[in-house]
């Protein structure tokens, strides 16, 4: 081999190593960006799950009889009947 061929191969080898190092660095930075985005999405999902749990607790509280009775009194002026207003009927329809 001539000296020019040896130098050309050495230069080609150095270029190949630098190119592979560049590709590895690019892949790692891309992977870090994707992991950061994944972390952000997971945080958002956790926040949304917490919000959903809070809303479910609020709905359950609003479905409870004490809340419904209080709101019916406040909004519609309704109240529970007194004893003398209650009429007990039998279940028979004869």
pLDDT, one tens digit per residue, over 47-76 is: 999 999 999 999 999 999 999 999 999 999
Query: How many CB atoms are closer than 10 A to CB 72?
Result: 13
Domain ranges of the chain: 3-79
The phi and psi torsions of 58 (rounded to 5 degrees) equal -65, -40
Q: Which tens digits make up the pLDDT trace of 80-94?
A: 888 888 888 877 665
> pTM value?
0.56
């Amino acid at each position: 081999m001539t000296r020019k061929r040896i130098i050309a191969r050495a230069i080609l080898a150095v270029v190949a190593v630098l190119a592979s190092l560049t590709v590895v660095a690019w892949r790692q930075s891309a992977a870090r960006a994707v992991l950061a985005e994944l972390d952000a999405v997971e945080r958002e999902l956790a926040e949304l799950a917490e919000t959903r749990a809070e809303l479910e607790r609020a709905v359950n509280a609003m479905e409870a009889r004490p809340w419904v009775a209080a709101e019916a009194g406040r909004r519609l002026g309704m109240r529970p009947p007194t004893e003398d207003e209650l009429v007990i009927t039998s279940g028979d329809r004869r």
